[in-house]
């Protein structure tokens, strides 16, 4: 069942990337013919190579992330060792800490230079078992080269937007010539110029949601603990809503259309994760309060189910 779902997700991702590439190629050809098509290919390759070669350390420095040492959180480092071995990663991801109150974790870099960043909000909100579930999700992104796929999708989307802007400017400049020369306005090209950036962005977001679903399934397979990730997602959603409620006086808008989300709805993710459990186990999700300052605890810090 899991293998079939992952195969479907992989096919879905391939179809999305092919569609984005074809859309960019069609737009480049409509703007500048064969030269536009070649220019789109050249620029896409150049930007992708440069982004891959850009050192992970520089990106982390821009975020303001600092290394999370073994002595600060030995238990989490041990968990990363185990998960990296299960994922057959050539290089163990380095752990970094970001002083943000928002509960979040994200992977960055590549299989050669992998890193996982955790925030203060995440360490404050979750217990160790739940943090490990989240880390397994991020390591799954590294394992399946999701960072490279999403980077490629972002480049395709940006190039599509640039070509659309250039095409609209050229159309605006030559509009008087078309009118005075009594030539028909190429409405098909006009529609393509306007619609292509929107379609490309929707495809990029669809790919992001696709990779999140796959990372959820693969992450719980690696950790062997679906309850941990489900509980973490529930707590992170609650904390996130509470933060927006304090800032804006209301909860975060959860009615946003699924088409414009980078992640599937949290409730759908939890249902999908818990569907892997036997009936009657879903009520075991931990609701105990987390430790306030996990970074200050020593290497013997334990979570709810033991050390």
For 115, 153, 212, 303, the CA distances from 55, given in Å and listed in that order, are 11, 20, 24, 35
Tokens of 237: 């959603």
- Collect all residues with Cβ–Cβ distance below 8 Å to 124 and sequence separation of at least 6: 101, 103, 290, 291, 292, 293, 294
Distance CA 83, CA 140 (A): 9
For 40, 65, 106, the CA distances from 29, given in Å and listed in that order, are 9, 42, 37
149-153-159-161 Cα dihedral, nearest 10 degrees: -170
136-140-142-145 Cα dihedral, nearest 10 degrees: -170
If one counts every other C-beta atom within 10 angstroms of the C-beta of residue 111, the result is: 17
DSSP 8-state class, residue 103: -
Q: Pick from 289, 305, 304, 300: which is nearest to 75 by CA? A: 300
Per annotation, catalytic residue among 138, 204, 212, 239? 138
Angle in degrees, CA 297, 298, 301, rounded to 5? 75
Distance CA 269, CA 66 (A): 30
- Active-site residue, 138 included: yes
Q: Which residues are catalytic?
A: 138
């Amino acid at each position: 069942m899991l293998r079939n779902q992952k195969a479907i997700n992989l096919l879905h991702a391939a179809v999305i990337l092919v569609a984005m590439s074809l859309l960019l190629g069609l737009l480049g050809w409509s703007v500048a013919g064969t030269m536009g098509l070649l220019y789109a290919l050249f620029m896409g390759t150049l930007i992708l190579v440069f982004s891959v070669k850009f050192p992970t350390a520089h990106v982390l420095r821009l975020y303001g992330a600092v290394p999370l040492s073994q002595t600060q959180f030995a238990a989490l480092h041990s968990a990363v060792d185990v998960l990296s071995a299960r994922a057959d990663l050539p290089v163990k991801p380095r752990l970094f800490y970001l002083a943000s109150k928002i509960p979040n974790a994200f992977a960055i870099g590549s299989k050669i230079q992998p890193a996982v960043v955790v925030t203060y909000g995440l360490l404050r909100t979750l217990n160790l078992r739940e943090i490990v579930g989240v880390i397994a999700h991020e390591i799954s992104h590294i394992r399946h080269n999701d960072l490279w796929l999403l980077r490629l999708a972002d480049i395709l989307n940006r190039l599509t937007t640039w070509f659309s802007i250039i095409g609209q400017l050229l159309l605006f400049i030559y509009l008087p010539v078309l009118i005075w020369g009594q030539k028909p306005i190429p409405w098909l090209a006009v529609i393509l110029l306007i619609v292509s950036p929107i379609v490309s962005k929707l495809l990029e977001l669809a790919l992001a949601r696709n990779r999140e679903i796959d990372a959820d399934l693969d992450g719980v397979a690696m950790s062997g603990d679906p309850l941990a990730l489900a509980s973490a997602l529930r707590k992170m959603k609650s904390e996130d809503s509470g933060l927006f409620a304090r800032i804006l006086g209301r909860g975060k808008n959860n009615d946003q259309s699924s088409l414009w989300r980078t992640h599937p709805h949290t409730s759908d993710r939890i249902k999908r994760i818990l569907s892997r459990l036997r009936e009657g186990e879903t009520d075991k999700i931990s609701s105990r309060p987390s430790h306030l300052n996990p970074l200050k605890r020593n290497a013997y810090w334990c979570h709810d189910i033991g050390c």
